Structure 1
Amino acid sequence: MGVAGGIMLAVLAVAAAVLAGAADAAEGKAKGKYRALFNFGDSLADAGNLLANGVDFRLATAQLPYGQTYPGHPTGRCSDGRLVVDHLAEEFGLPLLPPSKVKNSSFAHGANFAITGATALDTPYFEARGLGAVVWNSGALLTQIQWFRDLKPFFCNSTKEECDEFYANSLFVVGEFGGNDYNAPLFAGKGLEEAYKFMPDIIQAISDGVEQLIAEGARELIVPGVMPTGCFPVYLNMLDEPADGYGSRSGCVRRYNTFSWVHNAHLKRALEKLRPKHPNVRIIYGDYYTPVIQFMLQPEKFGFYKQLPRACCGAPGSVAKAAYNFNVTAKCGEPGATACNDPTTHWSWDGIHLTEAAYGHIARGWLYGPFADQPIVQSS
């Protein structure tokens, strides 16, 4: 089973009880908790910045069935509907965050700076390692933080004290970052051994980004880890593993999940080091890993079908890997791809990203437990 698998089963044993108790006690306390929400990240949280950036309108995420569940048409979100940050905004009683690059938007309640392809590290890092051609970096973490600074007059243009109060009553969602950084060596065929070498620099970049936001006035932040790479059809379609390399219950690739687990362990350690340096700041770790593992091992708990990792929207690839419903030449939104009848029965939307239903479960777990090292909304 491996280290990650054993730990995950232990987590699963207590998660249900924690969720029931904490969520019930905290329910109803989210509305009005924050004046604003600020979001940074990649395609897991992009609400339209890539499209607003002037990317070719033929981009797959600009086509149906993206957005079919909500709002009924494509928005640039890499899902059938709402993302985690959208569910958070609704729970707080805030409007869905406008993408920061959409002109004439109201940023009175914050903005979404996330953009598809974003990395924790800047492009020169990859270029120095001969990976510039495989990185599609439209806005690394520090670039997004600069976008935040540039928009500051739209959030607060009065006294420093009033700005400090505004940010102190806002939630900053910093990530997920790291997934695209690791994709650079992985998609270039360099393997996990090379990807592990990137890990210290990626963790440091995320930590530095958190500190920069704290310096700007952030007082409550949630910093998500990465998802279990070995459970996603895009990787399962790409990898050839020995029979014993797959989880017997999940069908996920163990060594890739272990890799993701190690990243998250290092990220949590980095956040633990930041907390004593900033005693007046609340820094929360947001868990993407545990819920996806639960979607695989206990799908009925969330209303999902019990099956091997399978994209709701896609097309079968090779005969041997047809069950994953992922084909690099007919990805979701492209000719030849189709969507399943009911996305609420699937956790994987397009083999890379999640469905609205899955994002909703994760958002609830961040808000009330157990998918965060401390719930955003405390019960007491």
Structure 2
Amino acid sequence: MMNSHKELFSHLRSLFLPFLLLLGQIGLKVEARLLCHSSEKLFVFGDSYVDTGNTNKEYPGSWKDPYGMTYPGKPSGRFSDGRVLTDYIADYLGLKSPIAYQLRNEVPSYYLKYGMNFACGGTGLFAGNPNMTTQIDFFEQLIEENVYNASDLNNSLALLSALGNDYFDYLKHGSIWGFKSFVDSLVNQMTTNLIRIQKLGVKKIVVTSLPPFGCIPAISGFNPLKRCLNIINIIPIAHNKLLNQSITKLNQETIDGATFVFLDLYDSFMSVINDPSTNNITEYYTACCLGVSSKYVCGSVDENNEKQYKVCENPESTMFWDPIHPTQAGWHAVYNNLQMDDLGQLQC
């Protein structure tokens, strides 16, 4: 997701003053709207937090050892040692995790009955190849080919996740003085995507909030106190506030029974981090899998195919697998918090 953590942090730190100007417009808690789950299929769009196998197999991580060591016991294209958010949402809906789009022709056709996952590591609303617009193009093409019909879509749920790649790309090239406009453009594009998926026939559409950037090891590792850099969290707080407002407006304007849901990952992550008594995690700010030097990342090997990474002894008690992505245990804790505070309040 990032080539240089130090370079990224330098750019992020430079945003401190402009984002202070936004604080007066920001609420510290975003309320989630929820929906009754009777979905027969799950369609997923987004990035590495929900990808289950669409990233190129030559890309570092995901398809390389030791990714997947906890589940399914080998690399499966998930950016974790095991399950990711998609798997937990699918399980909640009573479904098997939908097949990755790039694997659709490698499995029996009955796998398609659970939906499909178009998400790909590195994706953003604008960033990545494919970006989210292209992922939705893939979805629309399958509809045109009658792989999925109107009944399938009417009884399905779409999950959209764009959790930071656009911001990391912008910070490499953009001006801090244009940042507020960039936030607006991202929220507007996400809103456009939500409306497009609704018009394709999906009635239940969930979009995740940005997580607390300042708490991922790639960022919090720069804090000598080994805790979240809350200054950096101003970014997702601002984004989430605007996104939630847009979703609220969509729900007020929709007339065909569609429901848009804001899934508050930010609050869930923070609840897990701030209240260790609710889970078995003891390490929050150091990744479980790291390269042996700054030259390498988790999953790297040298020219002799010798591994150049190290893995912690207890991923089940560690929040983050690599400097950006949660472990299976981390996702399970986040999901459990969502289940208690959000998913458990569904009203049919």
The TM-score range, normalised by the shorter chain, is: 0.7 to 0.9
| Kept in 1: contact 2:291–2:299 (CA 8 A) | no
- Determine the structure 1 residue equivalent to 2:159: 173
CA shift in 2, pair 1:7/1:271, >3 Å: closer
CA shift in 2, pair 1:253/1:196, >3 Å: farther
- Determine the structure 1 residue equivalent to 2:231: 255
- Determine the structure 1 residue equivalent to 2:66: 65
DSSP-derived class of the 2:133 partner? helix
Return the match for 1:282 from 259, 267, 270.
259
DSSP-derived class of the 2:297 partner? coil
Return the match for 2:285 from 284, 309, 315.
309
**Alignment deviations for residues 257-284 of structure 1 (CA, whole Å, 9 cap, x no partner):** 0111111011101101111221411111
Task: Quote how far apart the aligned CAs of 1:361 are.
Answer: 3.0
| Kept in 1: contact 2:204–2:260 (CA 8 A) | yes
Q: Where in structure 2 are there 5+ consecutive unaligned residues?
A: 1-19, 301-306
**Alignment deviations for residues 92-132 of structure 1 (CA, whole Å, 9 cap, x no partner):** 222221101112333122000000111102xxxxxxxxxxx
Q: For residues 284 and 81 of structure 2, what CA distance do their matches in structure 1 show?
A: 20
Task: In structure 2, give the amino acid aligned to 1:50.
Answer: T
Task: In structure 1, give the amino acid aligned to 2:138.
Answer: W
Percent pairwise identity: 25
2:330 maps to 1:354? no
Q: For residues 129 and 169 of structure 2, what CA distance do their matches in structure 1 show?
A: 14
| Kept in 2: contact 1:70–1:80 (CA 8 A) | yes
| Kept in 2: contact 1:36–1:110 (CA 8 A) | yes
Compare 74-83 and 104-113 and name the one that shifted more.
Answer: 104-113
Q: For residues 34 and 212 of structure 1, what CA distance do their matches in structure 2 show?
A: 19
Task: In structure 1, give the amino acid aligned to 2:322.
Answer: D
- Determine the structure 2 residue equivalent to 1:144: 135
**Alignment deviations for residues 170-222 of structure 1 (CA, whole Å, 9 cap, x no partner):** 111011x1510000133x27676554441011001100000000000010111
DSSP-derived class of the 1:61 partner? coil
Q: For residues 273 and 345 of structure 2, what CA distance do their matches in structure 1 show?
A: 27
DSSP-derived class of the 2:158 partner? strand
| Kept in 2: contact 1:40–1:173 (CA 8 A) | yes
Task: In structure 2, give the amino acid aligned to 1:48.
Answer: G
CA shift in 2, pair 1:7/1:269, >3 Å: closer
DSSP-derived class of the 1:50 partner? coil
Task: Quote how far apart the aligned CAs of 1:291 are.
Answer: 1.8
| Kept in 1: contact 2:54–2:118 (CA 8 A) | yes
Task: In structure 1, give the amino acid aligned to 2:286.
Answer: R
Q: For residues 294 and 134 of structure 2, what CA distance do their matches in structure 1 show?
A: 29
Q: For residues 84 and 154 of structure 1, what CA distance do their matches in structure 2 show?
A: 28
| Kept in 2: contact 1:296–1:309 (CA 8 A) | no
- Determine the structure 2 residue equivalent to 1:131: none
Task: In structure 1, give the amino acid aligned to 2:317.
Answer: T
DSSP-derived class of the 1:184 partner? helix
**Alignment deviations for residues 57-94 of structure 1 (CA, whole Å, 9 cap, x no partner):** x6222211100110000011100111111112223222
Return the match for 1:329 from 295, 304, 310.
295
Q: For residues 228 and 279 of structure 2, what CA distance do their matches in structure 1 show?
A: 19
2:216 maps to 1:232? yes
Kindly report which structure 2 residues correspond to 1:189-204, keeping only aligned pairs within 5 A, or say none.
195-204=179-188
- Determine the structure 1 residue equivalent to 2:13: none
DSSP-derived class of the 2:119 partner? coil
Compare 60-69 and 147-156 and name the one that shifted more.
Answer: 147-156
- Determine the structure 1 residue equivalent to 2:106: 104
Task: Quote how far apart the aligned CAs of 1:151 are.
Answer: 1.6
2:170 maps to 1:185? yes
TM-score by length of 1: 0.74
**Alignment deviations for residues 319-353 of structure 1 (CA, whole Å, 9 cap, x no partner):** xxxxxxxx642221124321212212111110101
Q: For residues 328 and 205 of structure 1, what CA distance do their matches in structure 2 show?
A: 35
Task: In structure 2, give the amino acid aligned to 1:168.
Answer: N
TM-align CA RMSD: 3.0
| Kept in 1: contact 2:163–2:211 (CA 8 A) | no
Q: For residues 297 and 258 of structure 1, what CA distance do their matches in structure 2 show?
A: 17
| Kept in 2: contact 1:178–1:202 (CA 8 A) | no
CA shift in 2, pair 1:308/1:98, >3 Å: closer
DSSP-derived class of the 1:101 partner? helix
**Alignment deviations for residues 269-323 of structure 1 (CA, whole Å, 9 cap, x no partner):** 1101111221411111011111221222112321110x5611111147xxxxxxx
Task: Quote how far apart the aligned CAs of 1:379 are.
Answer: 5.2
- Determine the structure 1 residue equivalent to 2:243: 267
Task: Quote how far apart the aligned CAs of 1:376 are.
Answer: 7.5
| Kept in 1: contact 2:43–2:115 (CA 8 A) | yes
Kindly report which structure 2 residues correspond to 1:69-84, keeping only aligned pairs within 5 A, or say none.
69-84=70-85
TM-score by length of 2: 0.80
Q: Where in structure 1 are there 5+ consecutive unaligned residues?
A: 16-21, 122-134, 157-162, 317-326
